Amino acid sequence: MLLTDQAAAFATSIDPAFRQDILEGLSRSPKATPPIWFYDRKGSELFEQITDLPEYYPTRTETALLKAHGSDFATAIGEGRAVVEFGAGSARKTPHLLRAIAPAAYVPIDISGDFLHASSAELASAFPGLPVLPVVGDFNGPLDLPSAIEGLPRLGFFPGSTIGNMEPDAAVDLLRAMRALLGQDATLLIGMDRIKDRDRLIAAYDDAAGVTAAFNLNLVERINRELEGDLPVDGFAHRAIWNDRKARIEMHLEAVAPLHFHVAGQCFHMEAGETIHTESSHKYGARDGSLLLSAGGWDPVQEWIDAEGLFALILATA
Ligand code: AVI
């Protein structure tokens, strides 16, 4: 088959994984798309804004824990490890940990190369002498660590409760993959958001300034931009729902009227009130985090939690 120039350009510029996930997700009933596709440049910037919102307590609380417990980390983790950060993004919390444990190398992993290279350069200048070895990639798939850290004991660092954006079975698979990647004497420091008052949880995902709504709706704009979509952005409303049975906040894009639209040449229809489930953010009870880690092949050894019980950092050994 011959492609026109325009179609050929479209066929080569399109991210096939994005196309496949969105077409599959919109064809499903109920409709659901994976949260990784929030994070184009604009989505990553909006997420950074979310982390500063008064309602979004996780980043502030976890950063305060990292600042406050540096000497505990130094004792429990020790010096000279290679720190491997999963989903490093802007890596704003990382300096607190690096200062406390004097690592031998720092390996940030992130899917967004632009973001990763900018934050790696900043860290390298803040920690002269520390080898900073960024890896661009999706930590949900197979990855190779830089050969420069061969032989060094590793600390996996997975802050932000990003584990909560996975279904429990996928979270267990990821923890097992991390254990295999990090090796025998590895340790893991992981952030987990706790179950709390429902109104507080909903406010954190439906802030008064509408930044989380813009973050969710940016997915519609991204589909239009990158997948030849014609979704009406004002045809969708942001919804944040607490699903108590599954202990998770769900973000949805709800059709405010019956909608017909196209994506990559395929037609879709939504009834008014029908939603696209765009993200789950699981929250953990007092023992849930330890159970999840154990299922993932890790042995939880220490936990740090703020006075209000909002957010926990857990240290586990392989
Ligand atoms: C990245 N992740 C841990 C965030 C969360 O809280 O689940 C993503 C997010 N979605 C809306 N607000 C923040």
Ligand 1 pocket test, pick from 36, 39, 46, 50 with the greatest ligand atom count within 8 Å of Cβ, gives: 50
Query: At 155, which amino acid appears?
Result: L
Q: How remote is the CA of residue 147 from the centroid of ligand 1, in Å?
A: 32
Atom of ligand 1 at shortest distance to CA of 216?
A: 11
Quick one: tokens of 211? Answer: 């930044």
10 Å CB burial of residue 123 (0-12, 13-18, 19+) is buried
- Please tell me the predicted confidence (pLDDT) of residue 114: 80
Q: Supply the DSSP symbol for 24.
A: H
Ligand 1 pocket test, pick from 57, 90, 162, 174 with the greatest ligand atom count within 8 Å of Cβ, gives: 162
CB 120, CB 172: distance < 8 Å: no
Give the closest residue (by CA) to ligand 1 atom 2.
Answer: 162
Give the closest residue (by CA) to ligand 1 atom 6.
Answer: 281
* Packing angle, helices 94-101 and 57-68, rounded to 10: 10
Query: Per-residue confidence at 112, pLDDT binned at 50, 70, 90?
Result: confident
Candidates 126, 86, 130; CA nearest to 104 is: 130
Q: Minimum mean pLDDT among 57-61, 102-106, 113-117, 160-164: which range?
A: 113-117
Q: Minimum mean pLDDT among 89-98, 127-136, 156-165, 222-231: which range?
A: 89-98
Q: How remote is the CA of residue 281 from the centroid of ligand 1, in Å?
A: 7
Give the closest residue (by CA) to ligand 1 atom 10.
Answer: 205
> Is the complex ipTM more than 0.90?
yes
Per-residue pLDDT tens over the stretch 2-37: 445 444 444 457 889 999 999 999 999 999 999 999
Per-residue pLDDT tens over the stretch 283-296: 999 999 999 999 99
Which CA distances in Å does 217 have to 18, 55, 293? 16, 19, 33
**Residues in the ligand 1 pocket, defined by CB under 6 Å:** 50, 58, 160-162, 164-165, 205, 212, 279, 281
